Amino acid sequence: MNAHLKKILAEKRREVNRIRKQGIPVVWHGDMPSIRDFPYAISSPHKVGLIAEIKFASPTAGRICQATDPVHIARLYEGHGAAAISYLTDKRFFGGDLRGLPRIKTVVSLPILRKDFIIDEVQVVESAVYGADAVLLIARILSKVQLKDLVEAAKALHMCPLVEVHDARDLDKALSCGAEIIGINNRNLDTFEVDLNTTFTLRPMVPEECIVVSESGIGSAEEVRRLGEAGVHAVLVGTAIMKAQDMEGKVRELASAGGMPLGSGQGLRHN
């Protein structure tokens, strides 16, 4: 396992222990916004949906963007064509802050994916309390039993689990645990190297009834078009947007590139 990932998971175990000891604080004063339909938002049969990510830093790249207000960025994403928002909430390694999630939820109408390293059911409950519509679950860092339990916990709270995979073994684990949205991570969590061909290799192995999201290493309209032609329903893009001098333009570019039919037979029907 990569040294960065080991450090991250050690920190997550400490966070879980703190939550269990201290409890989850009340963050809503008034009615909680309803759960939004994440699968519907990202699976239009007529386009590749853009899940635009708010990510301020990473262990390998350091500080990515000097902007600090996730609410401003979320509004920008919604205003320029994103289908959904991913908010990376890890504070120590990625510069996020879970307290920003409810602030985002109250100012945009898009579904929000909480992206973090979730290893325990208490984090799933925490995600629901803070207003997440979907949660990221990483098959590589979870046993089959853990993954199944977390998928079921998310669904019980009416959130959508996006299960991230990197190879065929991860994919088999995800499908056996009831995953309906498969995120193909082009980043190898052992080496942190990125290869877009990971998506092209794994996409034909995913059942047609699943929604497929390509993650990591996507930064151009041409790449979005190629992924759409391969039958990908949505792309998750963070760094390319957050590093762009013209963030609005980059969001428009990627969202507009996705405005084309998916590859033959890959679209999902909406009633």
Residue 215 bears catalytic tag: yes
Catalytic-role residue among 215, 223, 250, 253 = 215
Catalytic-role residue among 44, 127, 185, 214 = 185
Catalytic-role residue among 55, 105, 173, 250 = 55
Catalytic-role residue among 12, 86, 216, 223 = 216
Token reading at 255: 């969202």
Residues 23, 122: Cα–Cα separation, whole Å: 9
The per-residue DSSP string of 206-234 comes to S-TTSEEEEESS--SHHHHHHHHHTT--E
Q: b/e per residue, 140-149, with b = 16+ CB within 10 A? A: bbbeeebbbb
Catalytic-role residue among 164, 214, 250, 253 = 164
Residue 185 bears catalytic tag: yes
What amino acid is encoded at 239 in this protein? T
Residue 216 bears catalytic tag: yes
How remote is the C-alpha of 221 from its chain's centroid? 19
138: number of CA atoms within 13 Å, CB side? 17
Strands 57-58 and 62-63: antiparallel
Residues 56, 215: Cα–Cα separation, whole Å: 17
Q: How many CB atoms lie within 10 A of CB 190?
A: 11
Contact 80, 73 (CB under 8 A): no
Token reading at 103: 């602030």
Catalytic-role residue among 12, 47, 105, 115 = 115
- Catalytic residue numbers? 53, 55, 115, 164, 185, 215-216
